[in-house]
Amino acid sequence: MAILPINEKLLSIVGPSGLTNDVLALESHNRDWRGRYQGDAAWVVKPATTHEVMDVVRACFEAGISIVPQGGNTSQCGASVPGTGWGSIILNLSRMNRIRTIDWDNDTLTCEAGVTLATVQETARQGNRLFPVSIASEGTAEIGGVISTNAGGTAVLRYGNMRSQVLGLEVVLPDGQLWNGMRMLRKDNTGYDLKQWFIGAEGTLGIVTAAVLRLYPLPRSRATAWVAVDSPAQAVSLLSHLKSCVGDRTSGFELMSRSALQMVLTHITGTHDPLGNSSPWYVLVELEDASPDAGLDALLETALDQVLQQQLISDAVISRSESQSAALWALREQVSEAQKREGISIKHDISVPVSRIPVFVEDASQKLERAYPGIRVVCFGHVGDGNLHYNLSMPDKVKNPSFIEVTPQVNRIVHDVVHQLDGSISAEHGIGQLKVDELVRYKSPIELELMKTLKKALDPKNLMNPGKIFRPGNI
């Protein structure tokens, strides 16, 4: 039998609609959305079924060709685009966009990897259910990628990140075999929990093709408030107070520096400052309950009145309508877009124990100011779970290109502080291409060796998303 060139082999598997080397398509799929990384894959393969994924992976395994799995290409760290010099293909799963089954009594939804996060959310709402993971890119981000990066978002405080939402997975392994772990069970104590290997692995161990997701009762009442505080320490105290007053009804607790809010007000049309007086820090609080008569507005107002009397907050406004609540959330959700319009910056996605957030902000900011006088800190994130997006630039845009050149030194300052506080250099964005060297510095040797052992066992040829998590040649 004649051995077909890889492009002809792939064409025979996925057909003309599933294979392209069109210049414009390649340009789009080879570049991340932030424009930071540019790959050199010569082909984009778009299978329509799990069996096609298996055949494509098997063909590449036999030919020794590496694969970069890709969904909506919204990765923050370059995980969803190739590096250069690997001769990789891009395996884009966007055509695999079917909801397979919904079991309302079991509160589960089974879907393919190419379904967008927004579609999952909307499908759940149609059955009066909630899928709680919410991120700014949810209209584009696809379930396979959201699982592979273990995305978090704004509701982790109450519901947890993607690792908490996945009951079962279907995964094509690096040699083309299929692992069918599509269980709809909340209890399954039969040895190793294999699905956890692939959640957060950024496509380096296999390709997620489908998942069983948990659903929750749809909240029927919400209360949202915008709160001014003088410091992150006050924000943490406010969080503790809310927990004691309203329990687990707190679903959102987002911190924003004034610099972050100011960028949104400057660059996003239609936004306005909810409070009359400027404050150095703000907290966006949201409560929710499955009961339509939970009285959340009154509960939130009482809790905020108490901390106002204790001078833990300086001002607050409670939303009185869904449109007002949406406007408050837009201030938080548009920070990334506002930053993009403002220009380049050095970004960090860190987590520390909630109690140590004030120490991190103070220590890192002081050290950075000493090293780079005049530096601008744009800090925002999910204080309820200890995750901050801590981004740095110079107020004068002209100085930023040269400032970006010292990224390694800036990272060292920030990540050393994180490490000293028993934190993580990546809370929800993953490692990708961006943080491979940082991972080596801050992971213990035994942790790295265990990770490499798993990688070598499942992907001995290093064909699954090479250059991500581990530097090439360092496995």
pLDDT in tens, the chain (475 residues): 345 688 899 999 999 999 999 999 999 999 998 788 999 999 999 999 999 999 999 999 999 999 999 999 999 899 999 998 889 999 999 999 999 999 999 999 999 999 999 999 999 999 999 999 998 889 999 999 999 999 998 899 999 999 999 999 999 999 999 999 999 999 999 999 999 999 999 999 999 999 999 999 999 999 999 999 999 999 999 999 999 999 889 999 999 999 999 999 999 999 999 998 899 999 999 999 999 998 999 999 999 999 999 999 999 999 999 999 999 999 999 998 898 888 889 999 999 999 999 999 999 999 999 999 999 999 999 998 999 999 999 998 888 889 999 999 999 999 999 999 999 999 999 999 999 999 999 999 999 999 999 999 999 999 999 999 998 777 7
CATH number of 343-438: 3.30.70.2740
| Three-state SS at 432 | coil
CATH number, span 221-263+277-332? 3.30.70.2190
Q: Is 108 helix (H, G, I), strand (E, B) or coil?
A: strand
Q: Look up the CATH number of domain 99-217.
A: 3.30.465.10
State the pLDDT at residue 343: 86
DSSP per-residue codes, 332-393: HHTHHHHHHHH---B--EEE--GGGHHHHHHHHHHHHHHHSTT-EEEEEEEGGGTEEEEEEE
Q: Where are the domains of the chain?
A: 6-92, 99-217, 221-263+277-332, 343-438
Q: Is 449 exposed, middle or buried (0-12, 13-18, 19+ CB in 10 A)?
A: exposed
Token couple for 471: 């530097």
Q: Nearest to residue 385, comparing CAs of 245, 280, 255, 225?
A: 255
Q: Which of 16, 62, 60, 67 is nearest to 41 (CA)?
A: 67
413: tokens are 């300052």
SS3 content of the chain, % helix, strand, coil (to 5): 40, 20, 40
| 436 and 452 Cβ atoms separated by less than 8 Å | no
Q: Is 157 exposed, middle or buried (0-12, 13-18, 19+ CB in 10 A)?
A: buried
Distance CA 335, CA 284 (A): 13
What architecture is domain 6-92?
2-Layer Sandwich (3.30)
At 4 the pLDDT is 61
Dihedral angle, C-alpha 195, 197, 203, 208, nearest 10 °: -10
Kindly tell me the sign of the dihedral angle through the C-alpha atoms of 159, 335, 78, 60: positive
Residue 1 has a pLDDT of 33
Structure tokens at 23: 């210049």
Question: Do the domains at 6-92 and 221-263+277-332 have one common CATH topology?
Answer: no
E strand segments, 290-348: 315-318
The CB density around residue 320, as the number of other CB atoms within 10 Å, is: 11
Give the amino acid at 463: L
Question: Tokens 């009594």 — which residue?
Answer: 105
Query: 318: alpha, beta or left, given left = phi > 0 and alpha = psi -120 to 50?
Result: beta
* Cα 417 from Cα 434, distance rounded (Å): 19
Q: Which two tokens stand for residue 460?
A: 């001995």
Task: Kindly report the pTM of this predicted structure.
Answer: 0.91
pLDDT value for 5 = 83
